[in-house]
Amino acid sequence: MRVAVVDIGTNSTRLLIADVDRDSATLQELVRRSHVTRLGEGVDSSGSLSPAAIDRVLATLKEYRREMDDHDCQVNLAVLTSAVRDADNGDEFAARVREDYRLDARVLRGEEEAQLTFLGAMSGRAGEGVSGEPRADDGKPTVVIDVGGGSTEFVVGSGHQAGFHVSLQAGVVRMSERHIHSDPPAPHELQDLAADVRQTFRDGLPAREREQVTRGIAVAGTATSAASIDQELDPYDPERVDGYDLQLGTIELLLARLADMSEERRRAVVGLHPDRAPTIVAGMIVLGEALRAFGLEHVEVSEHDILHGGALRLAGVG
């Protein structure tokens, strides 16, 4: 079955077109696109999606709609997450996406977002990661960490069964707008941002869930950017990112390096997409605090996330 999934997130708008095999619960990627559209810009303070942000997303959806038509997709799904959930005009925006672009647009609750992310992250876990270690498919309690623009999702489960899941209001756009007002960021801004994230995680992650976890998988742009920067990938190579063993110490070193730069200098960092330069410092803080919350010294980076989960769900898997 040929499916298309669009992820309209707080920071980026992404497309996956894939052929899904229901029997083996596997998929073959045909098209994958990503544009940083910053839909959530200003939502934390204003409570609404701005006209400029909406226009950026709609221009991207016009391009994606052409791709879907060119590939004769049988079914589609557009998932709308934190920014749209939080915005006063989120339902109106979702209706426009549904009507103008012929997309099955759904505003996901945090729990639904987490479940699809877990389904995607745990798909195709056979074999070894790029570090040579077995992938996280052996039934050990695993946390999937999805650092987004408006929120961070955590899902704890074993094998392909998700258990505890929560969506916490600590995303890279939200935290950047709330705390970073200097370029480069001032030390007190970074400290306040880290304290805010730490408290949010402490309040939202029960000790009993954190204590059982023995390994982690990190998905989405912050984690994949960290893996790409650490390997100095130019151009970006998803095969070298997927399965990468990312150490907490590496995240700390990258944070120190990136926070010492102006945004202009960060745009030139090898391995980092220039459009992620405004939020990558907050992203490193959020990702680092996520690992610390679970007592993890490293995580496996995965290219499989809510896009893969949505594609499998469309095909009736999971």
> What's 274's domain CATH number?
3.30.420.150
Domain span at 14: 2-112
Q: Where are the beta strands (DSSP E) in 191-243?
A: 215-219
157 shares its domain with 266: yes
In a domain? residue 317: no
In a domain? residue 49: yes
Provide the residue-wise pLDDT of the chain in tens; the chain has 318 residues: 899 999 998 888 999 999 998 777 788 999 999 999 989 888 878 889 999 999 999 999 999 999 999 999 999 999 998 788 889 999 999 999 999 999 999 998 877 887 888 888 887 654 444 444 545 455 688 999 999 888 898 999 877 677 888 889 899 989 999 999 999 999 999 999 999 999 999 999 999 999 889 999 999 889 999 999 999 999 999 999 999 999 999 999 999 999 999 999 999 999 999 989 999 999 999 999 999 999 999 999 998 889 999 999 888 876
For 308, how many CA atoms within 13 A lie in the half-sphere containing its CB? 20
pTM of the model: 0.83
101 shares its domain with 222: no
Lookup: tokens for 168: 């916490």
188 shares its domain with 282: yes
CA–CA distances in Å: residue 174 to residues 5, 94, 112, 151, 278: 25, 21, 21, 8, 12
In a domain? residue 286: yes
Last residue of one domain, picked from the residues 112, 135, 160:
112
236 near 228, Cβ under 8 Å?
Answer: yes
231 shares its domain with 84: no
In a domain? residue 221: yes
85 shares its domain with 138: no
15 shares its domain with 76: yes
What is the tally of structural domains in the chain?
2
127 shares its domain with 259: yes
pLDDT computed for residue 132 by the predictor? 44
Last residue of one domain, picked from the residues 91, 112, 133:
112
In a domain? residue 129: yes
CA–CA distances in Å: residue 229 to residues 259, 268, 272, 276, 300: 14, 11, 6, 12, 15
Last residue of one domain, picked from the residues 86, 112, 138:
112
Question: 27 has which bridge partners?
Answer: 20
The amino acid at 204: G
In a domain? residue 314: no
In a domain? residue 267: yes
What are the helix (H) ranges across 71-130?
Answer: 82-86, 90-101, 110-121
Supply the CATH number for residue 35's domain.
Answer: 3.30.420.40
